[in-house]
Amino acid sequence: MKKTVQQSMTTMTEMVLPTHTNSLDSVFGGVIMSWIDICAAITAQRHAQLPVVTANIDDLHFVAPVYTGWIVNLKASVNFTSRTSMEVGVRVDAENPIKGECFHTASAYLTFVALGKDGKPTQIDPITPESDEEIRRFEAARKRREFRLERRDFFQAKK
């Protein structure tokens, strides 16, 4: 059964607390990474309707810092599916609630694998991009997947 991007899209909101920050009063990158992984995993599990595991985070770009008391909004969607895996893109925006300003702070692409009852990779339904933007993301994700597979093959050949 084909599924749309909208069916599994996830939006998550977090507040940056003092326990999330470093000595510069900005959030630790690892905290943002954790939130990205959680948001993406929810999206992947919604799509697969199966347990999923993170197989890869191949691009994570921090654009700007986020400070204590600010709000972090994460938005994730499935960009591409193959037989047992899928790429999920996550956009992270920061919001300064005092000034009412919002800006892009990070983006990431993650690969998830769906697991069957035996704990092994299992087939998932394909994604059906509908809008021009979803189709653009699908094609870009297909190219990233090809690159990931080439890189994996290169490093496996080195062993």
Residue 157 has pLDDT above 90, yes or no: no
- H or E element that contains 132: helix 132-158
DSSP annotation of 148: H
Task: Check if the beta carbon of residue 84 is closer than 8 Å to that of residue 113.
Answer: yes
Would you state the structure tokens that stand for residue 64, as one six-digit string? 């700007």
Please provide the DSSP assignment of 65-125 as one string. --BTT-EEEEEEEEEEE-SSEEEEEEEEEEEETTTTEEEEEEEEEEEEEEB-TTSSB---P
The β-bridge partners of 81 are 86
Domains contained in the chain, CATH given: 3-158 (3.10.129.10)
pTM listed for this prediction? 0.93
| Calpha distance 77→88 (Å, rounded) | 5
Would you state the structure tokens that stand for residue 17, as one six-digit string? 């607390």
Q: Hunting for tokens 């059906």 — which residue is that?
A: 128
pLDDT tens for residues 70-125?
999 999 999 999 999 999 999 999 999 999 999 999 999 999 999 999 999 999 99
Give the gyration radius of the chain's Cα atoms: 17
